[in-house]
A and B are shown apart, each in its own frame.
Chain A
Amino acid sequence: MAWIYVAIIVISTVASDLLQSWEMKRQGEVTEFGIGGIGRLLRLLLTKAPLIGSMVFLAISFYAFLALLAVADLSFAVPATALSLVAETVLARLLLKENVTPARWGGTVLVATGVALLAL
């Protein structure tokens, strides 16, 4: 059962992050960080379809994570989602057309390996 929750977490996390990154780049760099800035971010969250979709996937991931914590240790639950790191970098290159340098690929694979080792 734990691995089913892990699969749900990975798929929904990847979808959520891609949608969020794509829409926030479209909205432009955030430069205001006071109450007004927080209000603008909340408004974006409530009115922009990609961000609403991102939150729906995040909610699915959150409830799956809660369910996973009920059947597994935190130190298993968090690292077991390491697959999403590599999947997100691949999709950031393919879908968001980001310039992923060799150093960034190397670092990402190293981090994903480390996260997987934490689960052992």
Chain B
Amino acid sequence: MPTNSNALVWKTRLFAAIVIVTNVTGNFALSWGIKHGAAMDGSAWSFVRVVFDPWVFCGILLLSGWVLSRMALLSWADLSYVIPVTSVGFVLNAVMGAAFLNEVITPLRWLGTLCIVGGTVLVGLTAAKTETS
């Protein structure tokens, strides 16, 4: 199995964490804003109103940070590494949905959570940057 230098490993972990946190908090802010703020009825004007809701706007800022940190991460790490490793954010999304949006986490969802964590650990053990073939 190919290995990367210590510096690259820690840089990759740091940026993966930033990507996950900005994505999860950004998605949460968007969802909160849409469910508790401006309503969307499909018209162009309602899209504009929603974008300038404070929660939605905050979500957009966080997701802008997500785009930039992900661009940086993808400049050295494989896409096939970044996608599964940052998927642990799905678990945090579900937990935040349950904690703050009164969404239900069923036993199947907990099983799904275990699968995601297991898969993330498995991919996380591989080298982030490999030679192309």
Contact = CB atoms under 8 A, between A and B. Distances in A.
A30 B123 contact: no
B6 interface: no
B54 interface: no
B61 interface: no
Interface string A104-115: 101111111111
A100 B78 CA distance: 9
A107 B119 CA distance: 4
Interface in B21-60: 27-28, 30-31, 34-35, 40, 42, 47, 50
Given A44-B71, A114-B116, A98 B130 contact: yes
Nearest to B95: A75
B45 to A, nearest CB: 14
B132 A99 contact: yes
A75 B97 contact: yes
Interface string B97-133: 1100101111011011111111111111110001111
Contacts of A88: 79-80, 83
A31 B111 CA distance: 39
B106 A120 contact: yes
For the residues of A in contact with B, the DSSP-based class is helix
Given A25-B74, A69-B30, A114 B119 contact: yes
19 contacts: A28-B75, A30-B71, A41-B72, A75-B109, A78-B27, A78-B93, A85-B87, A97-B133, A98-B130, A99-B130, A99-B133, A103-B122, A104-B122, A106-B122, A107-B84, A107-B120, A111-B87, A118-B112, A120-B108
Interface of B: 1-2, 27-28, 30-31, 34-35, 40, 42, 47, 50, 63, 67-68, 70-72, 74-76, 78-84, 87, 90-91, 93-94, 96-98, 101, 103-106, 108-109, 111-126, 130-133
